[in-house]
A and B are shown apart, each in its own frame.
Chain A
Amino acid sequence: MMIEALIAVALLGALVTFVAPNRIAGKLAFAISLVPAALSLWLFTAFDGSGNALRGGELAFESQAAWIELGEHSISWFVGVDGISLPLVVLTTILCTLAIVSSWTPIDERESQFYGLILFIEANLIGVFTALDFFLWFVFWEAVLIPMYLLIGIWGGPRRKYAAIKFFVYTNVASLVMFGAFIALVFGLGDSVTSFALPEIAGAMLDGGPEGFFGLEGTTLASVVFVAMFLGFAVKVPIVPFHTWLPDAHVEAPTPASVLLAGVLLKMGTYALLRFNFTMFPEQVEMYAVPIAAIAVISVIYGAMLALAQTDLKRIVAYSSVSSMGYVILGLVAYTQFGVGGATFQMVSHGLISGLMFMAVGVIYNATHTRMVTDMSGLADRMPIAVGILIAGAFGYMGLPLMSGFYGEFTIFFGAFGSELLDYSPLFTAAAMFGIVIVAGYLLFALQRTVFGPYRLETDYEVGRAPLHDIAPMVVLLGLIILLGVAPSLIFDMITDAIDPIIQHGGDL
């Protein structure tokens, strides 16, 4: 019942916060969010699962209860964690707590509603990473959209309405495509599945796959479903060319929403790709490996180039996410232990680093009221601590050793380089590695212009040091980044344990 407790605390907390007076809402939400954070850390220490949840592994904290019986497929409340989902759950709870603290400064209207929505998102995100019944999972998956739509739409920047609607329409259409494809798959599997439980469906896919549905043959259906689901998740990740909602949403969203968006929401896409496409369809992965790898490399390079062309600090960080998530896709499609494991590690690592970067940009914006690289110079003189953290985060992004980004990217490249499944894998890897150079380029370029040199600011604000409650969450994040960089085995071991069963089915690698 531990996972139910996590979700319930966040949900009830959201309700309580929603009715609380504005004055205390921020502190109250923080206090409430400490409970799931502490609980998830306890789950982390008490974790005793093994193997992959969809490949007959031992689940930890599993619970299953019958829910709806209608027609031929039953739906159940089915949650549990394995080595892939647990790190992401911990990431979610920690990042939500930190995001709440980081909103104390920028959010100054309708606070109780704001913090209520953040806790509501937290509950649903935990649900996404723990649900093992397709339906339950889809409910959480879609329920994330509504609060994020409101967070961007109400508390966002000047073009918030446009960004909110674009975000909602893009991701909702993608979800519909994916949903339709998956339902077709379940019908296509015929009598071999009687429920929407993911392990059962994954098992049926291994035992021969779909029989066919409405005139489509089994293998064709599997390919169509694979492609449709890939596209559905690609929007969420996002992968070029489905990335255009992301910079709009990021730039308009308030800082804490950006933190959650980049830190956790994008991981929903890669997590789903791993759980569905790369676990259930090993044959199709083999078939489409080259195009997927090509898309991944294009995302890396193109995203980085776009970031290079920006002059808005927040946009730079936003586009860099496109690039970083491209690495994750490359790692997944490599289909080796290091590739997929590194991709999962990179999900967590990118969540921490991009969260840190958005917080740092937010702190700078709070102080200067501008995000334009051209408007400022020499900030290091006035706000040394915040700027120091920004620089540290940027180094994490560039993959400096002893920080988590290095380990994630290194394992991905290592895994991708040696991939036997992917043709021309050294070529793809080398091309993707070139992305690191561009990343270093735009980050150093931006830093050099904003934080170094003589102090100059083209606004009327007097810049001073940021308050402690703005700095503290960034320090925590930085600590975690370094901790994972120094001791990656903290989570990498459980990840590989959960990855191995997938790889063994992925064409004898």
Chain B
Amino acid sequence: MAVLELPQWAALAPALILAGTALVLFLLDSINPHSTNRTLLAGVAVVGSLSSLAVAVWFTAAGVGATGIENYGVIDLMGGQFVVDQLALYFMIIVAIVTALVTVASHDYLRDHTYQAEYYSLVILAATGMSMMAASNSLVTIFIALELTSLPSYALVAILKDNRGSVEAGLKYFLIGALSSAIFVYGVSLVYGATGSLQLTDIAAVLESGDGAVGEMGGLLGLGILMLIGGIAFKTASVPFHFWAPEAYEGAPAPISAFLSSASKAAGFVLAFRVFTTAFPVAATTEAIGVDWTLAFVILAIVTMTVGNFAAATQENVKRMLAYSSIGHAGYVLIGLAALSAEGGELVMGAAMMHLLVYGFMNTGAFLFVALAEYWGVGRTFEDYNGLSQQAPFACAAMAVFMFSLAGVPPFGGFWSKYLLYTETINAAADNTILLVLAAALVVNSALSLYYYSRLVKALWIEEPILDRDRLAQPTGLYAAIIAAAVLTVVALPAFGPIADAALEAAAAVVA
């Protein structure tokens, strides 16, 4: 045994660092409860999330969890309750990046806010939950991580206590969240009842053993799976559990909208990816319950992207438009799960993960731009945004990058991830022709989305301002976060090779 061998739980370092950061923030606040040293608080949060990012990137690069390397390989923790593999690290990276961007941007957004320390610690705690979700390997730890994410999120949405919209959104989010948690837990209990295990790998083992008892409980298991899908659909804001999203995103402080729509959604998807690839292998589960569960995701994907995009196209409020568009993007990512039934499905899933990573930058950036607009107090509709580029060319250039990237126009990152998703789906469609419909829906929806995304670009750059504005302030933190997100969206282009490799490795970690 080496002298400096780290204990196994150190593999969870990216999540643990976040947890520690939250505690440090509490500590700082209790030492001086009336301090409004927001630079210190935001600084601690940023340093914490960046350290988490650094460790996660280091682990990925060092090959932790990579298959086929001696002495590394997948790390099982705490009796298999947690697992650190490439998939977990990949999503920890997404969460850490979004958290860092959001905390940097919050520095200015929360200028006059009373609950500074609480705000940052709640953000970091939610991020901890998301990181834990990425590594959870049993339905129990998944549920706990899910709630660790959800509870701070409810509070964060409602944190603007004097703003009715914020409080209302928080309440709505909480009620629907509680309902979907209940559904999820019910689903967990049904799955447990049918298979007798909670750990994902054990569930798969039971299903694959072809045990007669499982066959008899097929209906129960199917219902359980459907309920799990419901819980995940809530977390990822997929139709039909999407109604909270536009309200919550609109009412919440804009950095929190960015946080929820990017990081929380990614965490929801890592759950979906892990649960459905590890615990419910397609062939064995189909035999047990009689229905191919990927069918549910096919329907969910098409409905989600269509509803999201059509609703986004009719919005007058920019934040709501972004909220609905993020529902549409959830639909694109769901293709990754829908394609698992076909050969080559792991490539589609890899492409979907890549889309989540790119989406992490561009969507966070877009919401942070809205945060900047709220900071300036320019209003919320498209018309209010008219001609902003004359006063703030850099932020508006960054926003144009986000919009074109979200729409999937080359050369930005969004084009690449959508393209790969598209071609891999077509490729897999050779095996399962229903995927052709998905690929077609992806293209049609992307084309439609160009309409409302370019509308915002047009408002910012081409329309003349309706009213004269005073000189707009240039808050450093918000600017830094937005520009950083834009640079990441553009840099994703040359760096796409390694990103694609990482995503594929992550997908292979659970599918193979």
| Cα distance A138–B419 in the bound complex, in angstroms | 12
Q: Is B20 an interface residue (CB 8 A)?
A: no
User: Is the pair A161, B458 in contact by a Cβ cutoff of 8 Å?
Assistant: yes
Residues in B136-181 with C-beta less than 8 Å from chain A: none
Q: Are A183 and B411 in contact (CB under 8 A)?
A: no
Q: Which of B404, B415, B423, B463 contacts A71 (CB 8 A)?
A: B423
Q: How far is the CB of B398 from chain A (nearest CB, A)?
A: 12
A410 on interface, CB distance cutoff 8 Å = no
Q: Say whether A68 contacts B497, CB under 8 Å.
A: yes
Task: Please state if B447 and A164 are interface contacts (CB–CB under 8 Å).
Answer: no
Contact, CB under 8 Å: A168 / B424: no
Chain A nearest CB from B92 CB (Å) reads 22
Per a CB cutoff under 8 Å, which of A71, A141, A146 touches B424? A71
A69 in contact with B462 given A139-B411, A146-B409 (CB within 8 Å) = no
Contact present for B350 and A70 (CB under 8 Å): yes
Q: How extensive is the interface on chain B, given as a class?
A: 35 or more
User: Which residues from 221 to 278 on chain A have a C-beta closer than 8 Å to any C-beta of chain B?
Assistant: none
Asked if A18 is at the interface (CB within 8 A of a chain B CB), the reply is yes
CB–CB A146/B496 < 8 A: no
Residues in chain A near residue B462, CB distance under 8 A: 150, 153-154, 160-161, 164
Contact A142 B500, CB 8 Å, known A71-B347, A71-B423, A168-B454: no
Expressed in whole angstroms, the Cα–Cα distance for A385 and B152 within the complex equals 73
Cβ of B427: which chain A residues have Cβ within 8 Å of it?
A: 71-72, 187
Contacts of A70 in B (CB 8 A): 347, 350-351, 420, 424, 500, 504
Chain B residue nearest to A110 in the complex (CB): B390
B residues in contact with A67, CB < 8 Å: 496-497
- B409 A142 Cβ-Cβ under 8 A: yes
- Complex: A113 Cα to B461 Cα, angstroms: 11
Q: How far is the CB of B242 from chain A (nearest CB, A)?
A: 28
Chain B residue at smallest Cβ distance from A66: B497
Q: Which residues of B contact A69 (CB under 8 A)?
A: 497, 500-501
What's the Cα separation between A160 and B462 when bound, in Å? 9
Interface residues as binary, A138-163 with B (CB distance below 8 Å gives 1, 0 otherwise): 11111101100010011000001100
**B379: CB under 8 A from chain A?**
no
Once A71-B344, A153-B462, A176-B447 are accepted as A-B contacts, the answer to whether A183 and B351 lie under 8 Å apart by CB is: no
Could you say which residues of chain B place their CB within 8 Å of the CB of A164? Answer: 462
Interface of A is mostly: helix
The distance in angstroms between the C-alpha atoms of A68 and B350, with both chains bound, is 13
Residues of A within 8 A of B429 (CB): 214
Chain A residue at smallest Cβ distance from B351:
A70
Count of chain A residues with a beta carbon within 8 Å of a chain B beta carbon:
34
Residues on A with C-beta less than 8 A from B500 are 68-70
In the assembled complex, B393 has its CB within 8 A of some CB on chain A: yes
> In the docked arrangement, what's the CA distance between A67 and B500, Å?
10
Does A310 touch B at the CB level, under 8 Å? no
* CB of B349 to closest CB in A, whole Å: 12
Quote the shortest CB–CB distance from A170 to chain B (angstroms): 13
Within A124-141, the residues touching B (CB, 8 Å) are 138-141
B426 interfacial contact with A, CB 8 Å: yes
Q: A172 — which chain B residues lie within 8 A by C-beta?
A: 409, 450
A168 cross-chain contacts in B, Cβ below 8 A:
454
Report A-chain residues with C-beta under 8 Å of the C-beta of B475: none
Q: Which residues of A contact B290 (CB under 8 A)?
A: none
- Residue of A66, A71, A140 near B411 (CB, 8 A) is A140
How far, in Å, is B401 (CB) from chain A's closest CB? 9
1/0 per residue, CB under 8 A from B, across A27-58: the answer is 00000000000000000000000000000000
Inter-chain CA distance A160–B347, complex, in Å, is 43
State whether A139 touches B497 (Cβ < 8 A): no
Q: Which of B429, B462, B500 has the most CB of A within 10 A?
A: B462
Task: Please determine whether A18 and B450 come into contact, CB atoms closer than 8 angstroms.
Answer: no
Which residues of the other chain, B, contact A165 by a CB distance below 8 angstroms? 454, 458
Best-surrounded residue of A71, A110, A176, A180 (most CB of chain B within 10 A) = A71
Return A190 CB to nearest CB of chain B, in Å.
11
A250 to chain B, nearest CB (A): 18
Name 30 A/B residue pairs within 8 A (Cβ), A-sorted: A18-B397, A66-B497, A67-B496, A68-B496, A68-B497, A69-B497, A70-B424, A71-B420, A73-B423, A110-B390, A110-B393, A113-B389, A139-B493, A140-B411, A142-B409, A142-B410, A142-B415, A143-B411, A145-B409, A146-B409, A150-B461, A153-B461, A153-B462, A161-B462, A164-B462, A165-B454, A172-B409, A176-B447, A187-B427, A214-B436
The 4 closest A-B pairs by CB, nearest first: A142-B410, A153-B462, A139-B411, A139-B410
Which residues in B have some Cβ–Cβ distance to A below 8 Å?
Answer: 344, 347, 350-351, 389-390, 393, 397, 400, 404, 409-411, 415-416, 420, 423-424, 426-427, 429-430, 436, 443, 447, 450, 454, 458, 461-463, 493, 496-497, 500-501, 504
Q: What residues of chain A have their CB less than 8 Å away from a CB belonging to chain B?
A: 18, 66-73, 110, 113, 138-143, 145-146, 150, 153-154, 160-161, 164-165, 168, 172-173, 176, 180, 183, 187, 214
